[in-house]
Amino acid sequence: MALTFTSRNKKEKKRILTETRNNFYLSFFDNVSPQEYAEKEVNGFWIVKQWNPELQQPQCALYSPETFQRYKVDATASAVSLDLGFSNNRQTAPDSETS
């Protein structure tokens, strides 16, 4: 008799796999509080840990060296655009004085 997976079993299997993977990645961050952002290089790859407010728990992502570099460039560009007053790729104009 063949064992078949129902969609519920597949979802549960995926949830367990995701949780196990995330816990493994978190094991690389010993002295970091759960809500603290952190990055760690492991054998040339980068693990990034950040707090997920929706799930109320830390989440990790694994990046190759190339994708990590793009991630850092994108994050820096986003931070700079926020500092310059850009929002959703549109500049917010300061209140202009009428003469």
User: Could you report the per-residue pLDDT of 42-97, keeping only the tens digit for each?
Assistant: 999 999 999 999 999 999 999 999 999 999 998 887 777 666 665 544 444 445 44
Q: How far apart are CA 65 and CA 60, in angstroms?
A: 16
Band of pLDDT at residue 98, cut at 50, 70 and 90: very low
Query: Residue 76 CB: number of other CB atoms within 10 A?
Result: 10
63 in a domain, yes or no? yes
55 in a domain, yes or no? yes
Q: How far apart are CA 28 and CA 46, in angstroms?
A: 11
96 in a domain, yes or no? no
Phi-psi region of 83 (alpha: psi -120 to 50; beta: other; left: phi over 0): alpha
Query: Residue 61 CB: number of other CB atoms within 10 A?
Result: 14
| Type of residue numbered 46 | W
91 in a domain, yes or no? no
Contact 51, 34 (CB under 8 A): yes
The whole domain housing 59 covers 34-86
Q: Which two tokens stand for residue 20?
A: 């196990």
